Amino acid sequence: MAEIVSEALIGRLADWGVDTVFGLPGDGINGIMEGLRRQQDRVRFVLVHHEEAAAFMATAHAKATGKLGVCLATSGPGGIHLLNGLYDAKLDHMPVLAITGMQETALLGTGYQQEVNLDKLYEDVAEYDQMIYNPAQLPTVVDNAVRTAYARRGVAHLTVPNDIQVADAGADPWQHVAPARPPETAPVMLSAPGKPSEHDLERVADLLGDGKKIAVLAGAGARHARAELLAVAEALAAPIVKTLSGKDTVPDDSPYTTGGIGLLGTRPSEDLMGDIDTLLMVGTNFPYTKYLPEPGKVRVAQIEADPIRAGARIPTEVPVVGDAKQALAGLLPLLKPRSDTKFLEKYQKEMGKWRKDMAALQDAGRDPIAPQYLVSVLDELAADDAVLTCDSGTIATWAARHWHVRGGREFFLSGNLATMAPGLPYAIGIQHAMPGRQVIAFVGDGGFAMLMAEFITAIKHKLPVKIVINNNNALGQILWEQMILGYPEYGVREPEPFADFAALATANGALGIKVERAGDVRGAVQQALSHNGPALVDVNVNPDEPPLPGKVEYDQAKKFAQAFLKGQPRKATIATTLFRDKIDQLKA
Ligand SMILES: Cc1ncc(C[n+]2csc(CCOP(=O)(O)OP(=O)(O)O)c2C)c(N)n1
Ligand SMILES: [Mg+2]
């Protein structure tokens, strides 16, 4: 049997170390499916229910393993479905390859069924975007796609017409006017130089040496540099602030961190940013500049892997390009250790208070169930090396504040695209890559409902993922955003009764538990975590629990009051919750 192009394509990906492809077949990719069938000993195909989820799974694979994630979709609608997940990869700088089908070459441009110019559609999302017209383009275009995805840390896209998919891989149908089939190179990614120059590191050390009140801001690019971050913080007696994507850079209980920053961050981090004279940014392109020090007020050094992003957010005196771990390791011996720890201690004290305030909100006695309590139970019972995935919504705030990174715990969500729905597919993608790990998705009812068919994917693939749904029967995040704008909520609550997602699980042979009383939370979470298979805990929580910012500004409070005056529904229950939160914090 002669080798077909699709077989060579998948084989070449296997040479690059690809072992999993997430996707859903269609008449536009039957040839590629045959390539996967022939290569099934080397590459596993994971059948999903929605292509968007396949792209999220590929993104999660890249986030958790550092290796290329691959997703596959048919021509037209399948390719369109991938896009949201691919933008998630693009915005969080993850190497992902999308393979799509295309009309056969003889029909291109004729308006044949499902003809969508996916290569044009993907122009914005993809760093490398190529149609394969001729078998002789292989393996070069595959190599270029993979190399680009890694080197530019983004999306590569290959679209393959139906006839080319099943063409003889050795065919070379046309006369050449220039040499075809460039030589094959070993499929090895040569990593870019990682350590900044000594000169650059000395400039960083000098700037830090002049600082009296220093903070470190760490992001996802420093996830592999925990020991170095902590050592630098110790040497400088400087607190570490973490972006949400960088939540697992250092443990939440470290004396060197003031936790998160931004709307869902901590009050100490917010205070700290207004108090420092020097900032060291490491592995972060934190977009919410409102939460960074005002331009001109502090001196800034930044260690950033991508030259394009170095110094791009706030005026930066010393932007340095390099790998976070190697840069910090190189910086350490150049630092003059600071013996004055007063500034650090001030924020350690503030953090002690913040931790108490947060613990006070984890009240088991509340009815309806406080989301903070739900997360605290999950936090307590989950393994020390659990992986938590999360969605955009109030859930991100609850996870940011009440889920504690400790030991080998990891944390993933859609950082910059901030899309709903990746929590569940992320968990599936990661569980495939890490079969032995406890993988938990903490998601909202809105985000879960968007791609809930993927829970059936988890069941069919016998993946022991654990899903915990913070079911507030609402698009909670937006509800609070509307009120903060000064308007009463509109179009953000689901009609009662609350959906029963546990029934979806039990009806399909998985463990599903619906929880409506706080007293049942612990037992349900425990049962799910110890269950040897996929499990889902659907918890009806207080729909009137606001995710308040760490520091409520006067203007926000005023807008809130305006929304109340303009006829905000459920005023009484919201006020009660707010009141109780404040009293509990005061009690703490
Ligand atoms: C695809 C997509 N649509 C809409 C939004 C805007 N949005 C952000 S959070 C959110 C609410 C999410 O609801 P849910 O998953 O139930 O979480 P909750 O906020 O209620 O905890 C919405 C609509 C988004 N980020 N992504
Ligand atoms: Mg919700």
| Residue of 419, 470, 477 with the most ligand 1 atoms within 8 Å of its CB, for mutation | 477
Query: What contacts 272, CB < 8 A, 6 or more positions away?
Result: 215, 239, 241, 258, 347
Query: Quick one: pLDDT band at residue 558, thresholds 50, 70, 90?
Result: confident
Closest residue by CA, ligand 1 atom 23: 475
Ligand approaching nearest to the C-alpha of 479: 1
**318 forms bridges with which residues in the sheet?**
301
Model confidence at 1: pLDDT above 80:
no
391 pocket-lining for ligand 1 (C-beta < 6 Å): yes
For the segment 509-534, the average pLDDT, to the nearest whole number, is 98
Using alpha carbons, list the distances in angstroms from residue 441 to 6, 196, 339, 359.
34, 37, 42, 22
Query: What contacts 183, CB < 8 A, 6 or more positions away?
Result: none
Find the 415 Cα to ligand 1 centroid distance in Å.
Answer: 13
Amino acid 285 reads N
Per-residue pLDDT at 183: 67
For the segment 517-540, the average pLDDT, to the nearest whole number, is 98
Instruction: Judge residue 64's burial from the number of C-beta atoms within 10 Å of its C-beta, 0-12 exposed, 13-18 middle, 19 or more buried.
Output: buried
291 close to 262: Cβ distance less than 8 angstroms: yes
79 pocket-lining for ligand 1 (C-beta < 6 Å): no
**Angle 313-318-324 (CA atoms, 0-180°, nearest 5)?**
80
Model confidence at 253: pLDDT above 90:
yes
Query: What contacts 561, CB < 8 A, 6 or more positions away?
Result: none
Question: Helix or strand or coil: residue 434?
Answer: coil
8 close to 139: Cβ distance less than 8 angstroms: yes
Model confidence at 193: pLDDT above 70:
no
258 pocket-lining for ligand 1 (C-beta < 6 Å): no
pLDDT tens readout for residues 343-391: 999 999 999 999 999 999 999 999 999 999 999 999 999 999 999 999 9
Query: Quick one: pLDDT band at residue 186, thresholds 50, 70, 90?
Result: confident
422 pocket-lining for ligand 1 (C-beta < 6 Å): no
Ligand approaching nearest to the C-alpha of 477: 1
Q: Which range has the worst mean pLDDT, 52-56, 234-238, 348-352, 365-369?
A: 365-369
444 pocket-lining for ligand 1 (C-beta < 6 Å): yes
Task: For residues 138 and 3, give the distance between their C-alpha atoms in angstroms, rounded to a whole number.
Answer: 12
447 pocket-lining for ligand 1 (C-beta < 6 Å): yes
Reported pTM:
0.97
Task: For residues 568 and 489, give the distance between their C-alpha atoms in angstroms, rounded to a whole number.
Answer: 6
**554 forms bridges with which residues in the sheet?**
none
End-to-end Cα spacing for the chain: 73
Ligand approaching nearest to the C-alpha of 393: 1
Task: For residues 285 and 304, give the distance between their C-alpha atoms in angstroms, rounded to a whole number.
Answer: 8
Ligand approaching nearest to the C-alpha of 492: 1
Task: For residues 46 and 21, give the distance between their C-alpha atoms in angstroms, rounded to a whole number.
Answer: 6
Angle between helices 476-484 and 554-565 (to 10 degrees): 100
392 pocket-lining for ligand 1 (C-beta < 6 Å): yes
472 pocket-lining for ligand 1 (C-beta < 6 Å): yes
Closest residue by CA, ligand 1 atom 9: 393
Q: Where are the beta strands (DSSP E) in 273-366?
A: 278-282, 299-304, 318-321
SS (H, E, C) 224-267: CCHHHHHHHHHHHCCCEEECCCCCCCCCCCCCCEEEECCCCCCH
